[in-house]
Amino acid sequence: KLSNAAVIDVENVSAGKNTAKELVENTRKAFRSQRTLSYSFRREQLRNLLRFFDNEAEAICEALYKDLKKPKAESMAGEICMVRREVAGALSNLKSWMEPEEVKKTVANFFDDLYVYNDPYGVVLVIGAWNYPVQVCMIPVVGAIAAGNCVIIKPSEVASATAQTLATLLPKYLDPEFYPVFLGGIEETADLLKNRFDYIFYTGSTEVGKIIHQAASKYLTPITLELGGKSPVYIDNTANLKIAAKRILWGKVQNSGQICVGPDYILCTKEVQKELIPHMEKALEEFFDGNIKTNEDYGRIVSQKHFNRLANMLKNQKAAIGGKSDESDLFVEPTVLIDVKPEDHVMQEEVFGPIISIINVKDENEAIEFINDREKPLALYIFTNSSKVKKMFLERTSSGGVLINDTVMHLIADGLPFGGVGHSGMGSYHGKKTFDTFVHKKSVLSKSFNLIAEKIESLKYPPYTKFKSGS
């Protein structure tokens, strides 16, 4: 448990010495020193970040294991390597990303220069969630550093071991004057949010997203909200059900289903369900060698509160696969529920755990209606070989992203921005889009004192003769 008001100013990891207000003021002073602006400084900090992940990988994996029993392979692939990849991409492209973007001229600006200047916002606040507590905090930080900002990093208090590890170790690599880590829970974060920031990047639930939106509106602070929701799967009889079963469950068992783009429920016909379930059973058997409880490749639920939430979802439901849980170990078995009705508890909120429901629909039209009757999802998964069905879903539904014939993989596809829409979020990031998120695209028109240009442009000055007004 973190102590109350555990504000980390990092030069002083003993915590509690700075108030949130002081921390923001100091960080603003640091930004005004202009040191974060140069190419060399940004580059040096990004390199330091790479060293952080190389040198401290063991400590990070241990913390993630403490918080979530996250298997090391998942910590390496889904947390450390994902951020490393972003840093490496930023380092190779930093120079070109920083360059002003030239704008194509027309004859009206023949004598002028027109460009878009990538202006850092200033002091950025990054607030992260607990499920991928390293990745969701640190990928935005990569973009914010590359863009020349100062960043206050606020990891989730729910993944407390990871938050402490970041607060203790990051300052050894990233200059804490410019990139301090702030530790705290709801109360401390609320206090932090009373301050003025130049950009807020939030990852977490839709409910808290609304609170962040409201806090930001006081100063008209631009924000990105990376939120969650129920991501549906549609699967039809043209899909390879054996492969589909594996891919759906892979997206469901990672981090014990505590993943923002986890497939939340499946829409399919009764016939598809009948064929799909044996394939799902087989896939789980293969993944975990028939004994998931003792298998090190399967993690645990983050807290008692979230365990209880999931246990409640299992009540009065029919499990075709799994259904067991163990409170003493915060273990919830991968579970496939059938005969689920839209009004059941499990369908009222994001599952965010290893439970997936199957809801029967008669065809793709009914599935589309079902999706459109609900909030816009973060991800939509379609399993089909039919081009017509793919097109129907793309045209007739709205979601943060769409992945055809797999789950989760769009999150790591190079070049694809990642983000939600409506209740699943606003804004997107990853790769160049992360850099672009943290710069104001400042339009610049630069004119000279060229006398010919002045002569032509003198038409704009009064007196407005008949000729000048076109009559």
Any idea which residues carry the catalytic annotation? 226, 260
User: Please, what's the b/e burial string for 364-401 (b: 16 or more CB within 10 A of its CB; e: otherwise)?
Assistant: beebbebbeeebbbbbbbbbbeeeebbebbeeebebbb
Question: Could you say whether residue 169 binds ligand NAD (CB under 6 A)?
Answer: no
Question: Could you say whether residue 157 binds ligand NAD (CB under 6 A)?
Answer: yes
Residues 362, 368, 372, 378: what is their CA dihedral angle, to the nearest 10 degrees?
120
Contacting ligand NAD (CB under 6 A), which of 145, 378, 382, 403? Answer: 378
Q: How far is the CB of 131 from ligand NAD (least distance, A)?
A: 5
Query: Partners of 79 in the beta sheet?
Result: none
Q: How far is the CB of 347 from ligand NAD (least distance, A)?
A: 15
Question: Could you say whether residue 136 binds ligand NAD (CB under 6 A)?
Answer: yes
One character per residue 206-245, x = contact with ligand NAD (rule: CB under 6 A): --x--x--------------xxx-----------------
Cβ nearer to ligand NAD, comparing 190 with 445: 190
Contacting ligand NAD (CB under 6 A), which of 189, 254, 384, 397? Answer: 189
Question: Could you say whether residue 128 binds ligand NAD (CB under 6 A)?
Answer: yes
CA distance 201 to 146: 15
Contacting ligand NAD (CB under 6 A), which of 63, 129, 139, 170? Answer: 129
Which residues, 6 or more positions from 164, have their beta carbon under 8 angstroms from its beta carbon?
2, 63, 183
Contacting ligand NAD (CB under 6 A), which of 131, 384, 407, 437? Answer: 131
Question: Could you say whether residue 425 binds ligand NAD (CB under 6 A)?
Answer: yes
**How far, in Å, are 123, 264, 268 from residue 274 at the CA level?**
54, 19, 10
Cβ nearer to ligand NAD, comparing 183 with 321: 183
Question: Could you say whether residue 183 binds ligand NAD (CB under 6 A)?
Answer: no
Q: Amino acid identity of 70?
A: K
Separation of first and last alpha carbons in the chain: 77
Residue at token pair 């054996």: 242
What is the distance of C-alpha 378 from the center of its chain? 10
Q: Which of 140, 164, 138 is nearest to 67 (CA)?
A: 164
Q: How far is the CB of 225 from ligand NAD (least distance, A)?
A: 8
Q: What residues make contact with ligand NAD under the rule CB under 6 A?
A: 127-132, 136, 154, 156-158, 185-186, 189-190, 203-205, 208, 211, 226-228, 260, 350, 352, 378, 420, 425
